[in-house]
Amino acid sequence: MDRLRALEIFIAVAEAGSLAGAAKAMSVSAPTVTRVLGELEAELGVLLFHRSTRATTLTDPGRSFLADARRIVEDYQVSSDAARGAHRAPTGTLRLTAPTLFGQYYISPVLLDFLDRFPDVVAEAVYLDRVVNLIDEGFDLAVRIGALTDTNLLAVRVGAVRRVVCADETYLSQNGFPRTPADLARHRIIAARHVTSSNDWLFAQGKTARVKPRVSFSSISAAIAAAKAGWGVTRLLSYQIGPDLDAGALKIVLEEYEPAPLPVHIVHAEGRSASAKVRAFIDMAAARLRANSFLNA
């Protein structure tokens, strides 16, 4: 009996919930699935499935064995890929996603250098200000800002960003610098709804200040443009105004009242068997992003 093949068939039956479904997934006949499964159960001395005309379900020993079977098959795939040099030669299509401005400012330069280094890779970068489901939407990796909620993903921390209050220096010279969060009550507020959906702005030590926006934008770029035009004060994430801070177009205020920074991670779902393209891109991106001062709050 080919034990590795038997494990793959066992896993396919568990995932399909039927012998016929496993046979289709594995491109073998149903009698072959039945025979291989019977040989595996005979060798182990236990029943792995309860079989009926309606369903094929795992027994208690079968559920325990499934985790080990998956690990064994994954370990074999990792070893065989390494032996063939798959992890040393990135190829194929890399699909990634990131928040819009983060992608434009920080991911695109890395991605273009990555493609120059690995000519057998093509890439699709989708920049969206929402959290995507990597598996359902077919992405290899994503940039996530803030606390991670999906424990099924592998995460590499690459930095942290701050929630900052900022304005154009001309506006500040004409209207005064806010010295405490309470001072915001006398300033014109520009709201960027993708960053702060509430009018209660959180500051250090759990303190909040209620603001009354004169204008609210669904676009972060529009809020930045309004602040640069000297119209008022806005609150953004530090990475979103990195180029504007460098150029002197915006100035951060109330730094001593900022809440704790938000972590930035690159996440992926491939685990230990991550493909060469995913591993190579994460390695390059992590090194570049960690060296960026705007991503090291």
Angstrom distance (rounded) from CA 95 to CA 86: 18
Cβ atoms of residues 241 and 166 within 8 Å: yes
Tokens of 210: 């209620």
Hey, which CATH number is domain 3-84, 3.30.565.10, 1.10.40.30, 1.10.10.10, 3.20.20.70? 1.10.10.10
Domains 3-84 and 163-257 share a fold: no
What's the pTM?
A: 0.67
CATH number for the segment(s) 90-157+262-295 = 3.40.190.10
Rg, C-alpha atoms of the chain = 26
Q: pLDDT grade, residue 134 (50/70/90)?
A: confident
Question: Which of 137, 146, 140, 149 lies closest to 99 in space, CA to CA?
Answer: 146
Cβ atoms of residues 128 and 156 within 8 Å: no
CATH architecture for segment(s) 163-257: 3-Layer(aba) Sandwich (3.40)
Angstrom distance (rounded) from CA 51 to CA 54: 8
- The pLDDT tens digits of the residues spanning 211-257 come to 999 999 999 999 999 999 999 999 999 999 988 998 999 999 999 99
- The pLDDT tens digits of the residues spanning 149-202 come to 877 789 999 999 999 999 999 999 999 999 999 999 999 999 998 777 788 998
Question: What are the residue boundaries of the structural domains of the chain, listed by start?
Answer: 3-84, 90-157+262-295, 163-257
Q: What is the pLDDT of residue 197?
A: 75
Indicate the average pLDDT of the chain.
89
Q: What is the pLDDT of residue 260?
A: 92
